[in-house]
Homo-oligomer: A and B are copies of this chain.
Amino acid sequence: MSLQESGPSLAVVGVTGAVGQEFLSVLSDRDFPYRSIKMLASRRSAGKHLTFQGRDYLVEEIAPDSFDGVDIALFSAGGSISKEFGPIAVEKGGIVVDNSSAFRMDEGVPLVIPEVNPEAVAGIRAGSGKGALIANPNCSTIICLMAATPLHRHAKVVRMVVSTYQAASGAGAAAMEELVLQTREVLEGKPPTCNIFKQQYAFNLFSHNAPVMSNGYNEEEMKLVKETRKIWNDKDVKVTATCIRVPVMRAHAESVNLQFEKPLDEEKAKEILKKAPGVVVIDDRAANRFPTPLEVSNKDDVAVGRIRRDVSQDGHTGLDIFVCGDQIRKGAALNAVQIAEMLL
């Protein structure tokens, strides 16, 4: 039971969505202390009732005065809600941990993975009356960097080639439902319902639905490129990515090819990853057992395996790895709550 006088007052924005619901699970699982919590959503979801830690809450429509007296607001209601209400919450002295991409690349807004760059939130304290915006990175970036950073610290990554295998959850709860619905339809020989995605997703895969930019990359891919540079505070690191949606429910997988400045052999890499916080190594070559999205679903840790010297690079300055992480949890809600924990 984490309702206590000394805790901060919280607000969860977008509480009825997939990530919003996971905020509540994670707060509860981690016994996050709070003296009050507001459940906020858009007009469409306002008026619903939620039970959280044995109490009944009314979901309120987000409004400027929702943020009066709020110390920490966890936002996951899309970029436009963040843009409209994030600055209001900050002005009222609250700290916004924002899961949207609205502010991620803004100068002065920390973009944080607690295991990677906790220093970025130094000096920001909940309840100090001094508001601040903190951005939660994109799910693919978080999952990739959880595994790549410990290796980067040891041997400095100079180039990274990422191919993703992204779950339905990244497009929200409705997308997960559509994947189930489509799968039933296809099995019954019916044409698939395409409301969320414009094409068949069941037993298929497709290039990520984010808009494609003039350089041919989609926005999801450029997030991996730009957010990595910001989080690592290394404007020279070279990253390319190809982001693909696969018919998996809630955990992403990523095939990551790494090029290092210094030599790093695979045994040393395994040793480093085994010690890395929030990372679990699953790498049993004899049993052909490696990370899968299903295995990390609803789990906190990011799993890494297929750790091997890249045969296409000379010497020992290249590695291939395969990473899986729960998109809703470490890719979104858990990471945001971990940021909030650093503010207490």
Contacts and interface: CB of A to CB of B under 8 A. Distances in A.
A212 interface: yes
Contacts of A160: 312
A325 interface: no
A338 interface: no
A273 to B, nearest CB: 14
Given A244-B165, A244-B255, A247-B203, A312 B216 contact: no
A305 B253 contact: no
B244 A253 contact: yes
Copies of this chain, whole number: 2
Interface residues of A, number: 57
A101 interface: no
Contacts of A311: 215, 217, 225, 238-240
A246 interface: yes
Contacts of A183: 183, 187
A42 interface: no
A206 B292 contact: yes
Interface stretch (A9-17, A54-62, A108-116, A283-291): A283-291
Contact of A288 (B212, B248, B307, B318): B212
Of A183, A207, A209, chain B has the most CB atoms within 10 Å of the CB of A207
Nearest to A218: B288
A257 B244 contact: no
Interface in A185-237: 187, 199-200, 203-207, 209, 211-212, 215-218, 225
A68 B183 CA distance: 48
Contacts of A48: none
A292 B199 CA distance: 10
A277 to B, nearest CB: 25
Contacts of A304: none
Contact of A322 (B207, B209, B212, B266): B207
Given A212-B285, A240-B320, A247-B247, A204 B308 contact: no
Contact of A216 (B163, B242, B257, B309): B309
Contacts of A184: 187
A242 B320 contact: yes
B257 A240 contact: yes
Contacts of A225: 311-312
A243 to B, nearest CB: 9
A293 interface: yes
Interface string A292-328: 1110000000000111111111000010101000000
Interface of A: 159-161, 163, 165, 179-180, 183-184, 187, 199-200, 203-207, 209, 211-212, 215-218, 225, 238-240, 242, 244, 246-249, 253, 255, 257, 266, 285-286, 288, 290, 292-294, 305-313, 318, 320, 322
18 contacts: A159-B312, A161-B312, A165-B165, A165-B244, A179-B203, A180-B187, A187-B187, A206-B292, A207-B288, A207-B290, A215-B308, A217-B308, A238-B313, A239-B311, A240-B320, A244-B322, A246-B246, A247-B247
